[in-house]
Amino acid sequence: MQRSRSAKISLLQKLVLQEDFNFLVTNRIPRRLATRFMGWFSKLDSSLLARTSIALWRRFAPDLDLSEAKLQRFRSLHDCFIRELKDGSRPIDPDPLVVTSPCDAIVGAFGEVEDGMAFQAKGFPYRIRDLLADDALVERYARSGKFVTLRLKSSFYHRFHAPCDGDLSRVIYIAGDTWNVNDIACERIERLFCKNERAVLDIETAAPGLGLTLVPVAAILVASIRLHCLPHVLDMRYRGPEFIDCDASFTKGDELGWFEHGSTIIAFASSDFSFDDAIQKGARLRVGQPLFHSPVSLRRPPEASEARPTPEPSA
């Protein structure tokens, strides 16, 4: 009986992972409705429901690892999605010439921006103007800027962190769809990242002229981005301005916010940066590991850190 049940689960897992079936289920259902439902369901306050949901989740995501979580019991599925980690779980590379990965991720497409175009997958280019919605940023990266797509699986740690010391004075929020952003969808849906809900975080580094921009892109079941520098969640209910002023200062490794399931961050760097040798398609990165190398130090002078204390994270 047990063997028969295991065989059925194995067949179901194979079916879910089969490309055509996966694409159909995740991208041809009512995406916004499914995302709203998951937002409601995941926040139901029930330890029993949370344990049951996590057990089912593990059936389809065997790499779900909660051993590093600060808490081992969760009141809701949402609490598990946005879990914090034990102190020291993600060492941050201290080298001031190193820009670190803002998230745990699998490396997707990466390379140089050419004539204002980047790639989401082989043969699927997109205009960075359509993604960034800001002409000044496009001008900065359009010729020989660097880009890298960092994909977070649903089982990954979902919080993201500052890749270097910096300041943030504005967030651009672009409302959009909730397409799945996995490899299958990236190879079939043109301009996918430009269609989905996203935020643009332009980091002001300690080195004038060197630019870094992070673009957290939401996806199906996850259309919600929480940034500590803003008092409200960016989600499908947000009706505020597209350009949002803020005043945040942070050091490398500080937490910037989180996704509420799993998605993608696209990182852009100006042409003076170079990729770390470990950046290869399919490589697994963790928060704090090298992503780019800078030609000059990006460490903020001590007096600047004292002048602008980092705001307390929002709940």
Give the whole-angstrom CA distance, residue 234 versus residue 55.
29
Report how far residue 301's alpha carbon sits from residue 315's, in angstroms, rounded to the nearest whole number.
29
Of the candidates 294, 279, 227, the residue with the CA atom closest to the CA atom of residue 254: 227
261 is catalytic: no
Query: Catalytic pick from 263, 270, 276, 294?
Result: 263
Catalytic residue among 158, 161, 228, 261: 161
Give the H or E element holding residue 129: helix 128-132
Pick from 80, 77, 12, 88: which is nearest to 39 by CA? 77
Residue 2 is inside which H or E element, if any? helix 2-17
* DSSP letter assigned to residue 81: H
Residue type, 223: A
Residue 181's identity, in one-letter code, is V
Q: Is 305 a catalytic residue?
A: no
Of 79, 104, 177, 276, which is the active-site residue? Answer: 104
Active-site annotation holds for 277? no
Which residues are identified as catalytic?
Answer: 104, 161, 263
